[in-house]
Structure 1
Amino acid sequence: MLRKLFLPSSIIAGFVALFVGPEVLGRMISSFVTTDSIFYQGLIPEFILEVWRTLPGLFINVVFAALFLGKVVPSLKKIWLIAGPQVVMGQTVSWGQYVVGLLLAITVLTPFFGMNPLTGALIEISFVGGHGTAAGLAGTFEELNFAEGADLAVGLATIGIVSGVIIGIILINWGARTNRAKFVGGKHRLSEEEKNKLAELEDREQEIKPTHTTSMEPLAFHLALVGAAIAVGYVLLELIVLLEQYTWGAWTGTVLFPYVPLFPLAMIGGMLIQIGLDRYGKSHFIDREMVNRISGFSLDILIVSALGTLSLAVIGDNLIPFLLLAVVAISWNVFAFLVLAPRMIPEYWFERGIGDLGQAMGMTATGLLLMKIADPDIETPALEGFGYKQLLFEPLVGGGLFTAASLPLIYQFGPVAILIVSVIVTTFFLLFGLFYFGGKKAKATS
């Protein structure tokens, strides 16, 4: 039953941990046992949960540091020619999530429910960012006096993934019936083995053939690379914090970067290492498959620990705001797919747009899954464009620099200021997509 939802095993394992922990099983049996009983908090003792709570903030750095290691980066011209419409569409949807989220927070959640204005960033953090970003920002939420935001974000990310798969498959069936999705079914039906693989979390890009090192264990070598990327990111972050401290921070009394987490800078560190290895002809030593295994393992640990330590009481106490955020996010994403995608993507809008919808609902793997169903034989450029899109998408939003900085930005400058910025950026990408790429579609059909 769960396989039909294409849920990754780590998410299922996280729900199992949540059920047998203090939030569900512990509450059920706490009235029947004494407080000193080993089962008072369920089957997972508190000292284990204390360790688990620290894991998301650590392993998110590994996931992002590995994001671009071992990837052959094509020229910007090639990326733009193939993935330009998907880049613009993805940016429009992501920045639009800030617009609708901040509008909801300013007009409803804060005045009527007393929610922290930081709630306005939860939609983009949870839906485009996914479980990794939501859990990885737990420390930032706590530092900004909104600790419950981390639980709400992880809960919203779960809603996003489940609804993304269900709504995506409904839309694919609708597209096939109305002849909008012309490649559904392909030349063969997906086997059970192929369906299982679709639920995996690792990347699907073409692997490069590595030259293994002879002086080091390959796993140790690749772990060292990831560690080096995190170290570079740490140095960059400390330098920026120091620069801010003696420049605009001292002049204005406003500081931002002490609240920014490490993981987006770790991603930049990985990019710098990859560029350096490419430049000196050493990138062939990196095995992208090995990097995927490290990243996949880290993401599994992150998701299980984040869901296992999720506070259902926090979600229950904020149930109506939680549901409002989910409904608004899903409505915006579906609207963008049905209304904006046909007007912004000149060719194969359905196959390309369904991938963007899946990613906007929770994670890259959901987008890959939906594209594989809509175009199983890869008869369109959707999959290639989706892969290239990440190079111009993830460094900024979807867990990138602005996603990580959005919370301290709202905290320092207020939700109205960040809403204005988000409206401007969303409008820019929207108009650019409608008139530049939409104009190409009009010319092609005329």
Structure 2
Amino acid sequence: MGDTFHGVIAFALLATMLLIGSVLRTRISLLRRSLIPSSIIGGVIGFVLLSLDLIPGFSPQDFTALTFHLFTLSFMSLCLTGSSKDKSLSGGSIVRGGLWLTLMWTLSLGLQGVIGLLVAKGYAAVSGQSLSEWLGAIITHGFTQGPGQALTYGGIWEDKYAIANAAQVGLIYASLGFIVAFCVGIPFARYVIKKGLNANQASKIDSHFISGFYTREEAPSSGRLVSHPANVDNLAYHLALLGVAYLITYIWLSAMQPVVEGWQPLGINVSVLFSFNLFFIHGLFVAVVMRMVIDRLGLDHYVDDETLKRITGSSVDLMVVGTVMCIKFAVLSALLVPILLISLVVTLVTAFFCLLLGKMSGPLGYERGITAFGCCCGSTGTGLLLLRMMDANFSTSVPKELAFFNLAIILVNLHILFVFAPIVPSMGMGGYIAVYGGTALVALCCVPLLLRGRSRSTSTQGMETKQA
């Protein structure tokens, strides 16, 4: 039985790092005041221990699969959760809000790549250092997409186009992206909460928020029992619902893969869209349909949304720990200065557009802006973690918008993600700027359309209120 423990112990290590992070957050004044989440503290500790080979028998790769599945589970449980009954916490149409998030991410994907390329080119010209412009361009796959995509595309660029160190530089950008997301995102979220600008006023900076734990007398209750313990435990029952959605998704993908194998309309390899790497996309669809069926059949009283939110929150915490631990931060000292310069410029531009467009999106604008910034510098999990600071129990409509966003960005950016990104070095600077810069420009041109839709929605709601 000994050989069955490796994966279980890897999960136990994630949980242990999270526990250590929560204890340190409570005990160390500096960590309490900075409001750094326990998952980040625990993830950094795990990262250091792995980098120093102080966890025998384990490497960053051992946590990659766990992180992937925790990410998937967090969004599937979120989509099984019903909509908030408090209309004051809604930012209007979930689709429209999701489109605002999609627009910000699409703009970031194109703009970060162009900025990275131009800054790298300019730095090489001024310093005289030999630096490939593609080592600047890959920042968008490290920042906007995360370590997985940075490794994937960087590896392809290295193998097929001889761009030296592309994968390692991509990982460095991904690591810096997480740091940036929290160094900028946490102070801004704190400012919004202090000013009372967040919609969910249950999220406020009080003694509990700072310490990270409730006192025994003031601890709130969470969830309700929908199953009798003599039959099945409430948590086990809700995990079973999630398990059914996971199983249906797995069967669907397994059945479709032989059907679409070799099918390449317009040069797009459709089989990639049905790979297990995109399991979470199909899982979101399955979870949404399951919830629609449950509500349509009048069975929603058999599902407790608060319990599902706790599953979502737990998955996010463990996922963030795993995300940090599965990154092997290899510092390339010779490229440190240009990497920091490129990261700084990209961070400033990304923060400006995310916060500006978030504010323009209407109600819940602060929540959308900071969530989008987290997604565009770290990962979707980073965005969720920053959102949870301003929306502690995921009561606003932004988490659902984020679920829609994860589907929309794939469709909107299909041409980059599946056609151009793998062949970037063969495009030349002109072709690259045309594709990536053009995508960012189209995203900007869509802003007036969303603003017009927002105005119509506001007018319609106003008329309905007057009639009522």
TM-score normalised according to structure 2 size: 0.65
Structure 1 counterpart of 2:402:
390
Alignment pair present for 1:8 and 2:8: no
Distance 1:383 1:198, change over 3 A: farther
- TM-fit CA distance, 1:13: 0.8
Amino acid at match of 1:293: R
Aligned equivalents of 1:188 and 1:97: distance in 2?
28
Correspondences of 1:148-227 after superposition (within 5 Å): 148=168, 149-150=170-171, 152-169=173-190, 190-196=205-211, 211-212=226-227, 215-227=231-243
Residues 50-106 of structure 1 show CA distances to partners (whole Å, capped at 9, x for unaligned) of 5334422332222232221132389xxx97746677445423322111121221344
Say which of 340, 354, 359 aligns to 2:371.
Answer: 359
**By how many angstroms is 1:389 displaced?**
3.5
**Equivalent-residue separation in structure 2 for 1:182 and 1:306 (angstroms):** 30
Partners of 1:93 and 1:360 within 8 A in 2: yes
Alignment-mate amino acid for residue 278 of structure 2: P
Q: CA deviation at 1:387?
A: 5.0
The residue that corresponds to 1:334 in the other structure is 351
CA distance in 1: counterparts of 2:117 and 2:417, whole angstroms: 15
User: What's the CA shift for 1:370?
Assistant: 4.6
Query: Which of these residues, 60, 68, 76, is aligned with residue 71 of structure 2?
Result: 60
- The one-letter code of the counterpart of 2:370 is G
How far apart in 2 are the matches of 1:140 and 1:284? 44
Alpha-carbon distance in 1 for matches of 2:455, 2:257: 42
Q: How far is 1:321 from its partner?
A: 5.5
Q: Secondary structure at the match of 1:361?
A: helix
| C-alpha spacing 1:297/1:325, structure 2 compared with 1 (3 Å) | farther
Distance 1:91 1:310, change over 3 A: closer
Tell me, what secondary structure is at the counterpart of 1:313? coil
The answer on 1:248 being equivalent to 2:264 is yes
Q: Give, in angstroms, the shift of residue 164 of structure 1.
A: 0.9
Alignment of 1:2-401 (within 5 A): 2-21=31-50, 23=51, 26=52, 41=53, 43-47=54-58, 49=60, 51-72=62-83, 81=92, 86-109=97-120, 112-115=132-135, 118-126=138-146, 134=147, 144=156, 147-148=167-168, 149-150=170-171, 152-169=173-190, 190-196=205-211, 211-212=226-227, 215-248=231-264, 252=267, 254=269, 256-257=272-273, 258=275, 260-314=277-331, 319-320=336-337, 322-324=339-341, 326-336=343-353, 339-341=356-358, 344-345=360-361, 352-362=364-374, 363-370=383-390, 384=396, 386-387=398-399, 389-390=401-402, 392-397=404-409
Letter in 1 for 2:135: M
Partners of 2:150 and 2:171 within 8 A in 1: yes
8 Å CA contact 2:262, 2:269 repeated in 1: no
Structure 2 CA distance for aligned equivalents of residues 401 and 253 of structure 1: 12
Matched length: 385
Runs of 4+ in 1 over 6 A off after TM superposition: 181-184, 186-189, 400-405, 438-442
Q: Aligned partners of 2:303, 2:332: CA distance in 1, in Å? A: 42
* Change beyond 3 A, Cα 1:235–1:417: farther
Deviation, 1:20, is 3.0
Alpha-carbon distance between aligned partners in 2 of 1:401 and 1:394, rounded to the nearest angstrom? 9
**Superposed CA offset, 1:203-239 (max 9, x none):** xxx9875622663333332222222222333344445
Any idea what SS the aligned residue of 2:140 has?
helix
Task: Mark the runs of 5 or more structure 1 residues left unpaired by the alignment.
Answer: 27-40, 127-133, 200-205, 373-381
The residue type equivalent to 1:215 in the other structure is N
Judge which range, 309-318 or 137-146, deviates more: 137-146
Label 1:171 to 1:330 Cα distance change in 2 as closer, same or farther (>3 A): farther
Instruction: Report the CA distance shift for 1:263/1:153 in structure 2 as closer, same or farther (over 3 A).
Output: farther
Offset at residue 241 of structure 1 (A): 3.9
Instruction: Give the 3 Å change call, closer, same or farther, for CA 154–405 of structure 1 in structure 2.
Output: farther
Segment drifting more, 83-92 vs 138-147: 138-147
C-alpha distance in 1 between matches for 2:58 and 2:91:
50
Amino acid at match of 2:449: F
Conserved in 2, the CA contact under 8 Å of 1:141 and 1:150? no
Residue 430 (structure 1) shift = 1.2
Cα gap change, 1:158 to 1:259, in 2 (>3 Å) = farther
Give 5+ residue unaligned stretches, structure 2: 1-29, 122-130, 160-165, 215-220, 375-382, 425-431, 463-468
**Could you tell me which amino acid in structure 1 is paired with residue 263 of structure 2?**
T
How big is the shift at 1:354? Answer: 2.2
- Please tell me whether the aligned partners of residues 80 and 308 of structure 2 are also in contact (alpha carbons under 8 angstroms): yes
Q: Distance in 2 between matches of 1:234 and 1:188?
A: 37
Q: Which amino acid aligns with 1:310?
A: I
| CA distance in 2 between partners of 1:116 and 1:60 (Å) | 28
Q: Report if the CA contact (8 A) 1:140-1:260 is conserved.
A: no
Query: Residue deviations 1:17-50, cap 9 Å, x none?
Result: 22333x3xx3xxxxxxxxxxxxxx3x21243655
Contact 1:101-1:119 within 8 A present in 2 as well: yes
Percent of aligned positions with the same letter in both sequences?
Answer: 18
Counterpart of 1:433 in structure 2 is 450
Match of 2:78, SS state, is coil
Q: TM-score, normalised by structure 1?
A: 0.68
Cα pair distance change 1:13/1:242, threshold 3 Å: same
Q: Which amino acid aligns with 2:246?
A: I
- Residue type of the alignment partner of 2:420: I
Kindly tell me: are residues 327 and 345 of structure 1, through their superposed partners in 2, closer, same or farther at Cα, counting changes over 3 Å? Answer: same
Q: Following the alignment from structure 1 to structure 2, what is the Cα–Cα distance between the partners of residues 435 and 364? A: 28
